[in-house]
Amino acid sequence: MSRLLERRTVSYTYLVQDMPIAQPTVMDHINAITKLGFIVPGFLEDGSVGYAMDRGLYQRCTMATRQLMGGRGSVVSLVHEVGKETG
């Protein structure tokens, strides 16, 4: 999530570089985040399609999660839980 928040749109290579998990696991995470609506298509400077964050949805979920968890949670933990349910 942090890499998606760093830039407006990122390539798959940038998104997954240095991740210490297997390729299928990376795709499972990307698919879960996409199903939740956090990832939307975006265009890179060269015109190719990349990944972008729906920042409005992220912000609303962050605020809702903090309210529900008394400030002790994050969207990342929410995505992790939903990923387990949809996996």
- What's the pTM? 0.63
Residues near 54 by beta carbon (within 8 Å), at least 6 away in sequence: 37, 38, 39, 40
Q: Provide Rg for the chain, Cα atoms.
A: 13
- pLDDT, average across residues 56-78: 73
Q: Is the pLDDT of residue 17 over 80?
A: yes
Rounded mean pLDDT of 19-39? 88
E strand or H helix at 40, and its extent? strand 39-43
Mean of pLDDT values over 60-70:
78
Domain boundaries, position 44: 2-86
φ and ψ at residue 8, rounded to 5 degrees: -65, -50
Instruction: List pLDDT tens digits, range 30-55.
Output: 899 899 899 999 999 999 999 999 98
Total structural domains in the chain? 1
CATH (domain of 80): 1.10.10
Residue 8 identity (one-letter amino acid): R
